Structure formats: C-alpha cells, structure tokens
Amino acid sequence: MKRQTKYSISRGKHSTKDEEKDEVLNAVFASVFNTKISCPPGTQASELVDRAEAQNEAPIIQGEMVSNLLHHLDTHKSMGPGGIHPRVLRELAEVLTKPLSIIYQQSRITGGVPVDWRLANTMPVYKRGRKEDLENYRPVGLISVPGKVMEQTILSAIKWHIQDNWVIRQHT
C-alpha cells in the first residue's frame, strides 16, 4: 500500500486530502499571478497591429516556417488542453500546414487568438525546499500544441523581421 504524503496547507496544519491540497495550490498560484497590463492603458492589440500595417512593417507568417515547426515537434511533450498529441500534428504536417498558416496569419492581422488556444492546464512544478510545503511549487501552464506552434511561428517571424529590417543595430 502506497503511503500518502501529508502536505502543509497552512502554518502547522497538514492534510492528505486532494481537495484541500488543490484549494491551497489554487490560492498560492493566484497570489503570484501577474495582473500587470502589457500594453499601455487604452491601447488594444488590434491598434498595435493597425499601426504596424500602416508602417508596412508587419511580418508575414509563411507556410514553410509552419511546416518546419510541425515537422520538428517533440513527440514526447504533453498535448495540453486541446487533446491533440504532438505526434498527430507532426505526422499530419503536410495536410495541416496550409490551414494552420491561414489561422496564424489571420490571428496576426486581427490581433485575436482562437478561444481554445487561450486555455491552459495549470500544473504544479516543484521549485525548491520541502516538497510537502505547497508554497514550494510554481504554476506551469500547458497550452495546446497548435498554440505553441503559433507562438514559435510568431517568434520566428519577429526574429526574421528584426534581422531583415535592421531594427536593432549593433554599434550605431
């Protein structure tokens, strides 16, 4: 019979019940959640996209980039809340490249992301200290695999754009 671990749920109070542990983890994660606004007040993502397009600077998401990312997905990673395993996307890369490229480009143009790709499964990952102390865990959000591919596509497009347009110059 496996021994149940007692978790510290508050100072001096311990529990082995999953519900109590979940409530404490939720409270700890909520206390460290960052609510700072990443855009200046009054600025919406679509406004930033409009400004970039007006300056003819918005990078284009290319199918070749999406295909390359799909072909190199790590099949040992988690599938996230969408329930689509990376192996499925990797093996269907040829079929999925065009539709995903269209979705990614549309997201770039509108500044929006499909609702399902905004969902995440939050998992506690041990940091340091006593494993029984739930405050020694950090939250890690597992997002859907197509969402991860979109993040990498956008990152690659931004890197390409910065290099191609000499946005950051060394020794200016």
Please write the tens of the pLDDT for every residue from 19-43.
Answer: 777 777 777 777 776 666 555 555 4
pLDDT for 3: 53
Identify whether the C-beta of residue 130 lies closer than 8 Å to the C-beta of residue 124: no
| Cβ-based burial of 134 (10 A; exposed 0-12, middle 13-18, buried ≥19) | buried
Among 5-19, 37-51, 146-160, the minimum mean pLDDT is found in 37-51
Please write the tens of the pLDDT for every residue from 39-95.
Answer: 555 544 555 455 555 555 555 667 888 999 999 999 998 888 888 899 999 999 999
CA distance 9 to 15: 7
SS3 per residue for the chain: CCCCCCEEEECCEEECCHHHHHHHHHHHHHHHCCCCCCCCCCCCHHHHHHHHHHCCCCCCCCHHHHHHHHHCCCCCCCCCCCCCCHHHHHHCHHHHHHHHHHHHHHHHHHCCCCHHHHCEEEEEEECCCCCCEHHHEEEEEEECHHHHHHHHHHHHHHHHHHHHCCCCCCCC
Q: Residue 115: how many CB atoms within 10 A of its CB?
A: 7
So where are the chain's domains?
A: 7-34+60-159
pLDDT for 163: 78
Q: pTM above the 0.75 mark? A: no
Angle in degrees, 0-180, between the axes of helices 145-164 and 63-71, rounded to the nearest 10: 130
